[in-house]
Structures are given as structure tokens and as C-alpha cells.
């Protein structure tokens, strides 16, 4: 059995937990997820089964959409509600919607982000969270990220007794974005401490939360029903042009040989090309402009 499962990850589970359970349900060790979700975050987590593990990276590169909440008035060491409070500031009055929207807009486009200390980013061979748990500090690498939009989905609310304001947001972003860091950065732009208080992933790998299936639902499925839950492998590559190989070309591709662009895809050049033979996806080839040829990028099914 092989394909891509749009899994709904419940809160309280790690992404590794989901892989473990899917291995048992689908009775295979060839299982991988396409982008970690923190234990306190729920939502869409595409899982690759069997030969589909070869396209995990392409799913990870796709855009993601989240919705969540940000509380203005205090901050934590983990940038979410799991960590200890490290700063607090009572708000005497709420920020206006215009003030909030202006700062949200400043956090869109290609921006520089510094990953949180409590994250899996590696520095000098160790995860940042390992340094954080040991009470050590280390210089964190700056990274370019893409934020397509960052907006309010509901009008914010103000708790006058606590002196805190809650912002309800939706964000569309690219690979490697830490949404909890966006929350902290929003607070910084407004001049107050902030924390991400809630987060759900609505879309990932082209799958929406409405398509996602929970582990509980999977556990009740027959083998035939499980197969029906899987999207085909080429779902992850659907943005790239497809080409059906002839017998001679297939013989080349099976051995990792290159293809002249004039002989495939009607001579049209594209960055990547999905190659099929006998109606099955066999490989993903990329175009090398220096050598003016298509060459192997990912071999998927050579049987």
C-alpha cells in the first residue's frame, strides 16, 4: 500500500507519534511525515506511505495555512503556553484594529526570522531545544521566510481585568516559518510582550483540514478502506508538467540517463518534469540549463 494520507493530528501527540501509529495501521515501516507539528498544535499533517516517502520534501515545500490566537500582555520562554512566563506588561487599553492590522502587514512578504530556542533547528550539531533545556544560550541563525498574508479573522477582544488583549489570526506562509515567533514579533512591533496561545494547521501539502482523517477513524477502517484514504504519489508533484515516456526513453530513465529537452514535453522547458511509463509515475526529472538536458532528480518507481 502506498500514497499520501492527509492525517488530522490531535493535540497531545508528537508528529513522531503519528508516524509510529501509521506504521502499525498500514503495516509498513516506510512512513514519513511532511513537516513537524508541535504537540500542542492540531490540524493537517500529510503522511507519506510506502514509495510516497520519496516525495516528502516536495510536500514540505508547499505553502501552509494556520489559524490561531495571540495574547498581548505576557511572554513565555517557549513562545507558546507550554513555557514559563518571562515577561509581563499590563495593557491599560486595547490596541485599535488599525494598529494591529498595520503591524500584521509589516510581517508579510519575504522577512528575516530567528527561530525560537525551543525548536528543532540544529546549531553545531545540537538541537536548539537541547541548549535551552540545559540552560545554555547559543547564537541562532537568521533565516529568510515567506509570509503570504497575516491577518485578523475575528475582531480582537480585551480583558480589562487581566490587562490582556487576544488577537485571532490566520496566516499563509512557506516552509520553515515558526508561527509562534511571528506572534512574539507582532508583540515586539506593538511594544508589548506576546505569546501564541492557540494554533491549528488548516492546510498543508495541498490538503485541507476538511480532507484530514484522524487516527481513531483509521483504526476502524478495513484494508480496502485504508487504501481509499490515500492520495496518489503524484498528488505531491501535481504542479509540474507530466510526460509519458516511450519504450526507448523508459530504458534510459530506468538507468538514470538524461533526456534531451527537444524530445520530451513538446520541447517546452520546465524546471521539473513528471515522467510516466505504462500510466505509472516513474521519476521526477529536473532541467539542467548548463548542460541543456533533463536529468534525474527523484526516482520513484522503477519496477
Q: What is the pLDDT of residue 72?
A: 98
Same domain membership, residue 79 and residue 211: no
Q: What is the pLDDT of residue 193?
A: 98
- Residue 293 CB burial class (10 angstroms; 0-12, 13-18, ≥19): middle
**3 near 230, Cβ under 8 Å?**
yes
The answer to whether residue 198 is catalytic is no
Q: What is the pLDDT of residue 47?
A: 96
Alpha-carbon span 273 to 206, nearest angstrom: 19
Same domain membership, residue 275 and residue 146: no
Same domain membership, residue 167 and residue 91: yes
Same domain membership, residue 46 and residue 102: no
Q: What is the pLDDT of residue 107?
A: 97
Q: Which three cell numbers stand for residue 182?
A: 511571528
Same domain membership, residue 49 and residue 87: no
Q: Write the CB contacts of 111 (distance below 8 Å, at least 6 apart in sequence).
A: 144, 145, 147
Parts of the chain with a pLDDT under 70: none
Q: What is the pLDDT of residue 200?
A: 98
What predicted TM-score, i.e. pTM, was given to this entire model?
0.90
Q: What is the pLDDT of residue 267?
A: 87
Same domain membership, residue 177 and residue 214: no
Same domain membership, residue 263 and residue 221: no
CATH at residue 38: 3.30.2350.10
Q: What is the pLDDT of residue 266?
A: 86
Same domain membership, residue 165 and residue 50: no
**119 near 129, Cβ under 8 Å?**
yes
- pLDDT tens-digit readout, 106-127: 999 999 998 888 777 888 888 8
Q: Is the dihedral of CA 119, 40, 206, 170 positive or negative?
A: negative
Rg over CA atoms, the chain? 23
CATH at residue 251: 2.30.130.10
Alpha-carbon span 10 to 12, nearest angstrom: 6
Catalytic residue among 10, 17, 38, 42: 38
Same domain membership, residue 140 and residue 11: no
Which residue is listed with cell 500542542?
A: 40
Q: What is the pLDDT of residue 128?
A: 83
Domain count, the chain: 3
Domain that holds residue 99: 64-204
Same domain membership, residue 78 and residue 29: no
- pLDDT tens-digit readout, 163-175: 999 999 999 999 8
Q: What is the pLDDT of residue 225?
A: 95
Among candidates 285, 288, 280, 282, which has minimal Cα distance to 297? 285
Amino acid at each position: 500500500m502506498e500514497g499520501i494520507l492527509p492525517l488530522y493530528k490531535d493535540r497531545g501527540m508528537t508528529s513522531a507519534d503519528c508516524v509510529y501509529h501509521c506504521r502499525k495501521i498500514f503495516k509498513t515501516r516506510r512512513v514519513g511525515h511532511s513537516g513537524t507539528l508541535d504537540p500542542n498544535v492540531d490540524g493537517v499533517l500529510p503522511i507519506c506511505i510506502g514509495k510516497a516517502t520519496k516525495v516528502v520534501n516536495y510536500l514540505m515545500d508547499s505553502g501552509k495555512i494556520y489559524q490561531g490566537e495571540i495574547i498581548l500582555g505576557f511572554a513565555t520562554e517557549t513562545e507558546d503556553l507550554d513555557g514559563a512566563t518571562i515577561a509581563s506588561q499590563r495593557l491599560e487599553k486595547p490596541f485599535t484594529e488599525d494598529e494591529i492590522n498595520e503591524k500584521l502587514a509589516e510581517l508579510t512578504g519575504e522577512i528575516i526570522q530567528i527561530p525560537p530556542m525551543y525548536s528543532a533547528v540544529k546549531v553545531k550539531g545540537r538541537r536548539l531545544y537541547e541548549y535551552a533545556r540545559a540552560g545554555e544560550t547559543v547564537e541562532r541563525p537568521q533565516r529568510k521566510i515567506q509570509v503570504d498574508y497575516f491577518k485578523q479573522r475575528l475582531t480582537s477582544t480585551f480583558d480589562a481585568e487581566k490587562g490582556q488583549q487576544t488577537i485571532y489570526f490566520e496566516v499563509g506562509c512557506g516552509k520553515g516559518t515558526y508561527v509562534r515567533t511571528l506572534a512574539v514579533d507582532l508583540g515586539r512591533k506593538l511594544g508589548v510582550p506576546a505569546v501564541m496561545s492557540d494554533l491549528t494547521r488548516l492546510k498543508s501539502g495541498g490538503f485541507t483540514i476538511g480532507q484530514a482523517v484522524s487516527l481513531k477513524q483509521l483504526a476502524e477502517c478495513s484494508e480496502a478502506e485504508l487504501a481509499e484514504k490515500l492520495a496518489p504519489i503524484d498528488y505531491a508533484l501535481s504542479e509540474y508538467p507530466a510526460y509519458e515516456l516511450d519504450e526507448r526513453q523508459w530504458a534510459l530513465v530506468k538507468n538514470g540517463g538524461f533526456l534531451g529537452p527537444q524530445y520530451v514535453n513538446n520541447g517546452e522547458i520546465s524546471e521539473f518534469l513528471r515522467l510516466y511509463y505504462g500510466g505509472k509515475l516513474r521519476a521526477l526529472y529536473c532541467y539542467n540549463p548548463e548542460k541543456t538536458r533533463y536529468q534525474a532528480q527523484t526516482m520513484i518507481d522503477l519496477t
